[in-house]
Structure 1
Amino acid sequence: MVAYLIRRLVQAVLILIGVSFVTFVLLYLVPADPARQIAGRSATAATVESIREQLGLNLPFYEQYWRYFVNLIQGDFGRSYIQKSQVGELIAARLPPTLLLMAAAICAELVFGLTMGVIAAANRRRIGDNLLMIVSFVGVSAPQFVVGILLLYLFAVKLGWFPIGGYGTAAHIVLPALSLGFLGAGWYSRMMRSSMLDVLEQDYVRTARAKGAGRWRVIVAHAVPNALLPVIAMIGIDIGLFMSGIVVVESVFGWPGIGQLAWQAIQRVDIPVIMGVTVVSATAIVLGNLLADLVAPFIDPRIKLR
């Protein structure tokens, strides 16, 4: 276990270095000029050049990246060009809302998705199976902003059960979490159904049935735990995606998360913020996958970490 953790952590560090380098290259090649945006349209060429020199944007690429990398390994994400604040502080301020929404959304998609997948597999090729797969297909296909607006209109505007937007109470998180959970539930239900169908054909399931175990006891006690492995791996990926990829939902509901911070930074070519959010999101994906791998042996003892 220790050797496995060391090896995975070394791999994680190399991956994060690669992500930071590739992202830095792409931002370096962007034709927009951050110095010009900071200075404003009416600024003189001398003013723009002075800002570029202060920010180190006049240095060769390798020097710019080396300076950024040295600061990064010391925990310094740099300073926002636009907001004039430390990127680490900006991300830290947006992190709690993002983590809260991420946890609620994952819970929502697991509850609905796994339930739908298990019921569909238990009723294979029946009406219930077909109906649930249609619902999952709609969930996978529906745009997030459409789902968010519909939920907002129905439950906030018409029924008044939840606030229209904002952040601060438990009621504020329900609709954003359901919007994200509806999309994720579609993927999880299809994956769980496929995994369940494979497990239900295994010999140990037939043996349990032959011994007289009830249908749902076989499904819940024997099939479901062994069908969860692909789901666990997907949760690790979702952690990283929800860290930065929920811009639309955050915008619809006015949720002050990292995704909205990243979108604002992209619009303004605020390179330090874009780099910071990218590195944090990549770290979340790597750690999420590592956590999924570590949990897998507890679900299935046959899996060995090597």
Structure 2
Amino acid sequence: MSIHLLRRIMESLLILLGITLVTFLLLYLLPADPARQIAGRSATVETVENIREQLGLNLPLYQQYWHYLTNLLQGDLGRSYLQKTEVSELIASRLPATLLLMAGAIVCELIIGLTLGVISALWRNSRTDRILTLVSFTSVSAPQFVIGILLLYVFAVKLHWVPIGGYGTFAHLILPALTLGILGAGWYARMMRSSMIDVLEKDYIRTARSKGLSRGRILFRHVIPNAILPIIAMIGIDIGLFMSGIVVVESVFSWPGIGQLAWQAIQRVDIPIIMGVTLVSACAIVIGNLLADMVAPLVDPRIRIR
């Protein structure tokens, strides 16, 4: 286990290094000029050049990237060009809201998606299965802002059950988490249905039935533990997805997460913030997948870590 974990960590560090390089190159190729954005449209050429020199943007690309890496190794994500604040502080201030939304969204996805998937698999090819499959496709295809605005209109405007937006209490979390849960539940439902159908056709399930085991025991003891493995991998991916921020949902519900911070930075070409959010998101994806690899053998002892 320790050797495998060490190997995965080394691979993850190489992946993160590649991500920083690709992101740095893409930002360098942008037609927008950060110095011009900071100075303003009416600034003189000399002013723009002074700002570019102060930020080190006049250096060759390899020197800029090397300075970024050396600072990163010291835990320095840089300083925002426009907000004049450390990027680590800006991300840290948004991180609790993002983590809370991520946890709520994953719980909603699992509750809705796994329930639909299990029911569809148990009653496959029936009218119930077809209806739930249609519901799954609809949830996957629906735009984020449509689901969000619809939930706001029904539960906040008409019924007054929850606040219309903001952050701070459990009531504020319900609608954005439910929106993301509905949008992602379709994927979980389809994956769970396919995985369960495959497991239900295995020989050991037929053997369990022939021994007279109850349907509930077969389902919860043999079918679901074996069918849920692909779901664990999907959760690892979702951790990275939600950590990068869901801009549309955060905007609809005025949720102060990392997504809004990244969107504002992109609009202003604030490169340190863009790099910082990208790196945090990449770390979340790597950690999520690493956790999924570690949890899978606990769920299914047949899996061996090598």
Query: Shorter-chain TM-score category?
Result: over 0.9
Q: CA deviation at 1:84?
A: 0.7
Q: CA deviation at 1:217?
A: 2.5
Corresponding residue for 1:77?
77
State the Cα deviation string for residues 21-40 of structure 1 (Å, max 9, x = none): 00000000001000011011
Structure 1 Cα separation of the partners of residues 305 and 160 of structure 2: 50
State the Cα deviation string for residues 79-103 of structure 1 (Å, max 9, x = none): 0011110000000000000000000
Structure 2 Cα separation of the partners of residues 107 and 225 of structure 1: 18
Structure 2 Cα separation of the partners of residues 124 and 42 of structure 1: 66
Corresponding residue for 2:41?
41
Contact 2:98/2:243 (<8 A) preserved: yes
Give the AA of the match of 1:179.
T
Structure 2 Cα separation of the partners of residues 9 and 209 of structure 1: 43
Structure 2 Cα separation of the partners of residues 211 and 115 of structure 1: 27
Structure 1 Cα separation of the partners of residues 43 and 141 of structure 2: 47
Structure 2 length-normalised TM: 0.99
State the Cα deviation string for residues 255-296 of structure 1 (Å, max 9, x = none): 000011001100111000000000000000000000000000
Corresponding residue for 2:130?
130
Contact 2:245/2:257 (<8 A) preserved: no
State the Cα deviation string for residues 91-121 of structure 1 (Å, max 9, x = none): 0000000000000000000001001100100
| Aligned-residue RMSD, C-alpha | 0.7
Q: CA deviation at 1:19?
A: 0.2
Corresponding residue for 1:198?
198
Corresponding residue for 2:286?
286
1:104 aligns with 2:104: yes
Structure 1 Cα separation of the partners of residues 95 and 47 of structure 2: 35
Alignment of 1:202-221 (within 5 A): 202-221=202-221
Corresponding residue for 2:271?
271
Corresponding residue for 2:225?
225
Structure 2 Cα separation of the partners of residues 73 and 94 of structure 1: 22
Give the AA of the match of 1:24.
F
Contact 2:19/2:279 (<8 A) preserved: yes
What SS does the aligned partner of 1:168 have? coil
Structure 1 length-normalised TM: 0.99
Give the AA of the match of 1:144.
Q
Corresponding residue for 2:299?
299
Structure 1 Cα separation of the partners of residues 104 and 267 of structure 2: 28
1:53 aligns with 2:49: no
Corresponding residue for 1:183?
183
What SS does the aligned partner of 2:78 have? coil
Structure 1 Cα separation of the partners of residues 214 and 144 of structure 2: 40
Corresponding residue for 1:168?
168
Give the AA of the match of 1:121.
A
Corresponding residue for 2:30?
30
Q: CA deviation at 1:215?
A: 2.1
Q: CA deviation at 1:245?
A: 4.0
Corresponding residue for 1:20?
20
Q: CA deviation at 1:212?
A: 1.2
Structure 2 Cα separation of the partners of residues 72 and 115 of structure 1: 43
What SS does the aligned partner of 1:256 have? coil
Contact 2:155/2:161 (<8 A) preserved: yes
Give the AA of the match of 1:288.
G
Question: Which runs of no fewer than 5 residues in structure 2 stay unpaired?
Answer: none
Structure 2 Cα separation of the partners of residues 292 and 6 of structure 1: 16
Question: Which runs of no fewer than 5 residues in structure 1 stay unpaired?
Answer: none
State the Cα deviation string for residues 156-186 of structure 1 (Å, max 9, x = none): 0011000000000000000000100001100
Q: CA deviation at 1:42?
A: 1.3
